[in-house]
Chain A
């Protein structure tokens, strides 16, 4: 018997090693959400990001002039926008007083820079240069001036991994700003899509989608993108939409993490994938 096994292993050792390692790889997939896996991952990407952040800084120096110019342009445009919104804000405050509604939203922005980006077209992630020390927690939304970039997935002390909208594991409830039709946004490896939207839903090419108030991941109506195509509108009972995101995921460099101050009781009651009060 022993000689048979010895012969068998000697003859087929390449295949035995291959099968053992492939089964090990597949079994790793099932422990992705374990706390210990997250800790090991935080250690590895934290250590690696520490080294790459220096290289990233050096690479970004060349872009500073261009970035400054863009930021000045953006600043001027935002100044005009702020003035316009201030007028709306004053009117809004007066109306709220009349209705007796209190404003409860409090959130601040934490500035971050992208250190590295994943090279997978289906599992888009970026590593940013702030972590738990700056108050970052998994589940916090990440934005640019254009709109929502993604959600913080994992944090070490000084660095965090952000799942971008171009990640097949991230799905977000979205809302058509014009018709108020709801849908679920996801990345299919090629496009941002909203699938299984009823044919009766009022959607047109060019409609703007924002994060829905029903989303338990992001509680603010952040811009997502516009509808560029309604796939096969004549077929089936559902519509699939292709969305062109406002954020250019190839060029993102400077980001803000939204430090949402939520109510603990609400967070615990909702079926929330990222429980921020754990």
Chain B
């Protein structure tokens, strides 16, 4: 049971390698999907809000340490996203989420919060138009992340034998 809680950490490192090596090749005008966020939302919806908040903190910490971001910026954004994703946790609706496009909306919302929080913490420039910042660095990556998350909906088994 406890080992189950470490599953996302085991998946995280290969996923981060894919994020850093392969995902830049799929960038559209420097906009890339955030695979780490999809992982975070997926496990938060399965386990709960406190778990998601703490998981977001840990995944953000490792991402900051490995990628050279300002230490704390991704931690802040991912903690907040994990918390928000946790609001949608429902023991009885787990498989329903992953089999419907509701999952994409949750990913879209969390990705939006993640991108905006990260931008405001790490690169807020008072001389720039805040609406444009939110659009370019928040909405566009969030939409791309939600599109990639649709793969989970597509490949998630239709019958759950839990």
- Interface on A for B, CB 8 Å cutoff? 13-14, 17-18, 21-22, 24-29, 31-32, 37, 40-41, 44-45, 48, 51-52, 55-56, 59, 116-123, 125, 127, 153-154, 161, 163, 168-169, 188-190, 195, 250
Contact = CB atoms under 8 A, between A and B. Distances in A.
B68 A169 contact: no
A21 B49 CA distance: 13
B100 interface: no
A48 B27 contact: no
B139 to A, nearest CB: 13
A17 B54 contact: yes
Nearest to B60: A25
Nearest to B27: A250
Interface in B46-78: 49-50, 53-54, 56-57, 60-62, 64-73, 75-76
Interface of B: 13, 16-17, 19-24, 27, 30-32, 34, 49-50, 53-54, 56-57, 60-62, 64-73, 75-76, 79-80, 83, 86, 118-119, 121-123, 125, 127-128, 133, 136-137
B53 A41 contact: no
Given A17-B53, A55-B17, A189-B119, A32 B72 contact: yes
Contacts of A28: 61, 64, 71-72, 75
A56 B21 contact: yes
A55 B21 contact: yes
Contacts of A52: 17, 20-21
B137 A29 contact: no
A250 B29 CA distance: 10
Contacts of A59: 21-22
A238 to B, nearest CB: 11
Contacts, number: 138
A224 to B, nearest CB: 19
B49 A123 contact: no
B137 A188 contact: no
Contacts of A44: 62, 65-66
Contact of B122 (A116, A117, A122): A122
A125 B24 contact: no
A17 to B, nearest CB: 5
A168 B122 contact: yes
Residue of B19, B66, B128 with most partner-chain A CB within 10 A: B66
